[in-house]
Amino acid sequence: MTAPNANHLKIRIFADGAHVEGIRKAAADPRIQGFTTNPTLMRIAKVDDYKAFAQDVLEIVPDKPVSFEVFADDFPTMEKQAREIASWGQNVYVKIPITNTKGESAGPMIAALSGAGIKLNITAILTVGQVEEVARRLAKQTPAVVSVFAGRIADTGRDPVPLMTKALQVLHERPHAELLWASPRELLNIFQADAIGCHIITITDDLLKKLALVGKDLNDFSRETVSMFYSDAQAAGYSIALAD
């Protein structure tokens, strides 16, 4: 088995999170080329002032793509939020969900915002049909990110690789639209995404730490695992009475 090499990856890695100090640390890591957030991550991080949080992030990350998401459910308010968020910085991408909570398509609004030159990150996509609609709506000359939640697709027992491969084909006519492999579940997903030519993958801090394992000798890893089991058994003081 040939050992993988992280230095040969072409895919761009974006950090996914909303803890300011974590973002600061990731911003100093040359492997990280962009950042994404969402309201769920912000709530977990106890962000209570959306704009103040965004301004803090943009001070830390002034020259790499950063995605901030709208949070309204009606499209008129969503569009106003999008235009406000877009005004916060030249490197800002506005995250727009593919539908609202009623399942109504955000397509017309995506067309209006992209046509106005606003950089979008279309999120929560899980089907090829949704990718096709986004491709129809995006302005050809406006940069955009198309976030397909490959990890959630895998959670349903489906292999996301064929769908992501098809998504790349669909986006071929939109040269300024990049496909993002969202919600990866394991480090292997980075290499899967890279192998098919996906442009971007988001990773959380726990996956970023695992990059140090890439290419590790499997015999060494096996011995370290055995040592871990032994050390934990000793620390727990386990014993079994054995017959002579």
Using CA atoms, how far apart are residues 52 and 200, in angstroms rounded to an integer?
Answer: 27
Mark out the alpha helices in the chain (DSSP H runs).
Answer: 20-27, 39-44, 50-60, 75-86, 107-115, 128-137, 150-155, 160-170, 188-196, 205-210, 218-236
Do 167 and 182 meet the contact criterion of CB atoms below 8 Å apart?
Answer: no
Q: Judge contact between 130 and 156, C-beta under 8 A.
A: no
Q: Nearest to residue 136, comparing CAs of 104, 162, 170, 94?
A: 170
Residue whose tokens read 């980075």: 190
Q: Is 95 one of the catalytic residues?
A: yes
The CA distances from residue 108 to 22, 62, 165, 173, 175, in Å, are: 35, 30, 26, 19, 20
Please identify which of the residues 51, 95, 166, 209 carries the catalytic annotation.
95
- Mind telling me the catalytic residues? 95
